[in-house]
Structure 1
Amino acid sequence: MTNKPKSWWGAPRTITNTIENRKISWLELFSDLIYVVIIHSFVENLSEHFNLYGFVTFWVLFLFFFNTWTNMVLYFDLHGKNNLRNVFFSIIQIMAVAVTATFTPDVFAGHYTGFILAYSFNQLIYMYLYLRTMIADPLHATTTRPFLIAYTIGEALFIASIWVPNLAVQQGLIVVSLIIFLSAVMAENGNFDREFRLRKIPFELNSAILERYGLFTMIVLGESLAGIIEHMAAEHTHLTDYTHFIIAMACITGTWMIYYTLMDERTITAHRYWPISLFRGIHRFLIACLTLQSFFIAQTIESGKVIDYRGLVIVTALVLVALLALTTPKLYNDQPLPSLKIKWLTGTIIVMLVLMAAPVFLGLLVIDIMLLTIGCWTWVLEN
């Protein structure tokens, strides 16, 4: 009878207790839903603060939220189990992220206290979860203890910034805290190398994690579609509006085709931990650029301004650059992108940048044709 409550509540899975061919759980899918609203909030608030401060705020907020998402993805993959404990803390974390997201407009307006308190509560949840993994698996302290120490220091600076009277200093402390949070794992790559080699853990990103990244990408592309459909619902009075709508749809479709044909069935392995961290960092940059693409697509079809169009071209080109960085290096790719595809993508990036000088919708139409052509060509080669 004494063991029944423990089994009912459950314990974290040890890092060596891997699950072969792990599939994404319904709980993980549910936890990703909140980011649909968060991405939409980013785009909406950026449109209201279309200036340098707005873009800096976007990047800071994106990195804060994506860091939370990454930590929970890794926790699910390394320590998650199908038990009540995992469900309970996941739901609490979803609620905490949702509450934190309500302060997004305040941050864009220059008010940070509510966001700091809500985000800190969210951080404490998975800091506690990782602490429990270290207690359940003492050997895991090699990597978990430095991680928790770094996060504790970052949290102390983050919360202390609330009482700083100078706004610039407060913003500086927030950015420093973010840098600590983002660099905590990368800074201890040597610890991960030691633990993984000692415990014979492969340096890889399994298919479940890659699928989570793909699903997050789908969320962002969905926001792009929502933005142009929302505009079309309000402005569907002329044939020109429908033409612009189709051009915007083609841009999203081409981006989708290229991403999923290049990333599908990709195997990410390395001989050390830092290339795995690098791959995750590049993917984070790619998703941020896709979010900005969503913003600029909506702005371009609404205003037709050159500045919006050029912003769209730049972030779309950066998406392709990030895809090249994800699929080309032998550092972490078992099957690097062939040289012919690299040349085509590189050529497309160059032509896209040249087209910044073209009339807005003519240039966007040509870019759409290039994206769709490469997407279809890559799909044919893969199949």
Structure 2
Amino acid sequence: MHNKPSNLWWGPPTHFDDRRYERKISWLELFYDLVYAAAIGQLTHQLATHPSWPVACRALLLFCLVFWSWINGSQYYDLHGNDSIRTRLLTFWQMLAVAAVAITIPDAFAGHPAPFALAFLCLQSLITYLWWSVGLYDPSHRTLNLPYTVCFSLAFGLLTWSIFTPAATASGLWVGALLLNLAPPLVGARRLVRILAGRGQVFTASAAIVERFGLFTIIVLAESILGAVTGLAGGPHQSPAAWGAFTLAILIAFLLWCLYFDMTSEQETKTGYGYLQGLIFLLLHLPLLAALSVVGACLKDLLALAETMPPPNLQWMFCAALAVIVWMIVGLTRIMQEEEEDRAYIRPVARLLLGTGAALLLVPALAPHLPTLAFLGLVAGLLLVPVLLGVRSWVRYKFLAGRPAEHAAGRQP
């Protein structure tokens, strides 16, 4: 181990060579994730209050910034975190900054960018320090964290500039900051792989970080449940049609859970391309989780309109988000390891999900005048088909897999 016992109270980050690929998710990591539920809840609330494409684009931009901060905080803990006072304090400061970001999200939607920019600057500075400090304590790691330090510092400059600009200009600067924040793992991929190969090391997404993404997906998916409950509770009256729409909304959330976790759960990324597989894993989750938050916002509005006809833009937004989700799930199946039993479920469902996404986009185009109950019923039916197909394929595999052994046992004297 590279860390001395005397450093357990306030010591350096865990050395890269000491990273554990198989470990239990810590309670601190789970607690850290909860503060992001507040930020995502604010974003879905803003979109549900003003369900329009411009608001959706603003929500997507802010979601990407928030999600970037979660990825970096989680990845840093996975690579360099430990049970020291330093790690706990840095995690607390990040949680405080994320909470401040959540509080200022309404200001960003109201055309006042300065409060959000100031709050996110605090978060940006903490994340920049985290990656810079790795090179400070471990000189051999400076060549790896240099792109992160440079790009994050440039993004810090753009965020500072946005404090003093109008809302439209600030949004453009935030887009630039986001691109800079996302750039290091992309522009430095070859260099990272080459350096690690020279050291006899391979970088892959650990089982722990894959599990963290599953837990974070649960947090975002919970917005669909909350949206359905809030939409029904806030409606003018709770008629049988409203309760029927509520049941279908919960069913849709449950089917999305089935598709994501049955297709990706308890698996690791393929090892053939190492770092590239892990990077694709991260990038596929960005639109997937953003779309899940849109689904939660739309369900709140759909339940509030349970006895009427939902507006076309709400239908399009809802179905487009669902299509993105199912297509991203298909993408994830291409980079995840498969056991034979998993393959019996995943392969037929993945092929069907490609068509399911297209069919979801046809719903608002071919049936724009459906009442909410019928609209949700049609969407739920489209999502139910691949789930039932997967269960059928899995049961058939289990049945056929057991038959040769039974026949062999029957032939024994």
Q: Does the alignment pair 1:174 with 2:174?
A: yes
In 1, Cα distance between the equivalents of 2:54 and 2:357?
Answer: 28
In 2, Cα distance between the equivalents of 1:309 and 1:65?
Answer: 26
Give 1:232 deviation, angstroms.
2.0
Contiguous gaps of at least 5 residues in structure 1: none
Q: Do the aligned residues in 1 keep the contact of 2:229 with 2:300 (CA within 8 Å)?
A: no
Q: Do the aligned residues in 2 keep the contact of 1:261 with 1:379 (CA within 8 Å)?
A: no
Q: 2:211 maps to what in 1?
A: 211
Question: Secondary structure of 2:13's partner?
Answer: coil
Q: Does the alignment pair 1:14 with 2:15?
A: yes
Residue 348 of structure 1, aligned match among 353, 356, 362: 356
Q: 1:271 maps to what in 2?
A: 273
1:144-187 deviations in whole A, cap 9, x for unaligned?
Answer: 012101111111122023234x5543332222112111222211
Structure of higher CA gyration radius: 2
Q: 2:409 maps to what in 1?
A: none
In 1, Cα distance between the equivalents of 2:168 and 2:231?
Answer: 37
Contiguous gaps of at least 5 residues in structure 2: 399-413
Q: 1:62 maps to what in 2?
A: 63
Q: Do the aligned residues in 2 keep the contact of 1:262 with 1:378 (CA within 8 Å)?
A: no
Matches within 5 A, 1:224-263: 224-235=224-235, 236-263=237-264
Residue 334 of structure 1, aligned match among 333, 337, 343: 337
Residue 323 of structure 2, aligned match among 317, 321, 341: 317
In 1, Cα distance between the equivalents of 2:72 and 2:202?
Answer: 19
Q: Do the aligned residues in 1 keep the contact of 2:21 with 2:208 (CA within 8 Å)?
A: no
Aligned CA distance change for structure 1 residues 379 and 89 (closer, same or farther; 3 Å):
farther
Q: Do the aligned residues in 2 keep the contact of 1:254 with 1:371 (CA within 8 Å)?
A: yes
Question: Secondary structure of 2:183's partner?
Answer: helix
Give 1:370 deviation, angstroms.
3.3
Residue 305 of structure 1, aligned match among 279, 302, 310: 310
Give 1:380 deviation, angstroms.
5.8
In 1, Cα distance between the equivalents of 2:230 and 2:210?
Answer: 30
| Range that drifts further, 349-358 or 221-230 | 349-358
| Range that drifts further, 56-65 or 24-33 | 56-65
Aligned-partner residue type, residue 169 of structure 2: V
- The TM-score, its normalising length taken from structure 2, stands at 0.85
In 2, Cα distance between the equivalents of 1:368 and 1:378?
Answer: 16
Q: Do the aligned residues in 1 keep the contact of 2:226 with 2:296 (CA within 8 Å)?
A: no
Percent of aligned pairs sharing the same letter: 27
Q: Does the alignment pair 1:283 with 2:295?
A: no
1:318-362 deviations in whole A, cap 9, x for unaligned?
Answer: 11011111112xxx3333965422322123223323332232432
Aligned-partner residue type, residue 337 of structure 2: D
Q: 1:196 maps to what in 2?
A: 196
Q: Do the aligned residues in 1 keep the contact of 2:10 with 2:84 (CA within 8 Å)?
A: yes
Q: Does the alignment pair 1:122 with 2:134?
A: no
Aligned-partner residue type, residue 349 of structure 1: G
In 1, Cα distance between the equivalents of 2:350 and 2:258?
Answer: 16
Q: 2:29 maps to what in 1?
A: 28
Q: Do the aligned residues in 1 keep the contact of 2:112 with 2:167 (CA within 8 Å)?
A: no
Aligned-partner residue type, residue 326 of structure 2: L
Q: Does the alignment pair 1:155 with 2:117?
A: no
- RMSD value over aligned CA atoms? 2.1
Residue 370 of structure 1, aligned match among 378, 382, 392: 382
Runs of 4+ in 1 over 4 A off after TM superposition: 336-339, 379-383
Give 1:237 deviation, angstroms.
2.9
Give 1:15 deviation, angstroms.
1.0
Q: Do the aligned residues in 1 keep the contact of 2:193 with 2:202 (CA within 8 Å)?
A: no
In 1, Cα distance between the equivalents of 2:162 and 2:375?
Answer: 46
Q: Do the aligned residues in 2 keep the contact of 1:12 with 1:81 (CA within 8 Å)?
A: yes
Aligned CA distance change for structure 1 residues 232 and 344 (closer, same or farther; 3 Å):
same
In 1, Cα distance between the equivalents of 2:209 and 2:55?
Answer: 31
In 2, Cα distance between the equivalents of 1:379 and 1:265?
Answer: 17
- The TM-score, its normalising length taken from structure 1, stands at 0.92
Q: Do the aligned residues in 1 keep the contact of 2:264 with 2:336 (CA within 8 Å)?
A: no
Aligned CA distance change for structure 1 residues 161 and 229 (closer, same or farther; 3 Å):
closer
Q: Do the aligned residues in 2 keep the contact of 1:142 with 1:191 (CA within 8 Å)?
A: no
Question: Secondary structure of 1:163's partner?
Answer: coil
Aligned CA distance change for structure 1 residues 207 and 378 (closer, same or farther; 3 Å):
farther
Give the number of equivalent residue pairs. Answer: 377
Give 1:90 deviation, angstroms.
0.5
Q: Do the aligned residues in 2 keep the contact of 1:253 with 1:372 (CA within 8 Å)?
A: no
In 1, Cα distance between the equivalents of 2:185 and 2:21?
Answer: 24
Aligned-partner residue type, residue 76 of structure 1: Y
In 2, Cα distance between the equivalents of 1:7 and 1:24?
Answer: 19
Aligned-partner residue type, residue 290 of structure 2: A
In 2, Cα distance between the equivalents of 1:20 and 1:149?
Answer: 28
Give 1:379 deviation, angstroms.
4.7
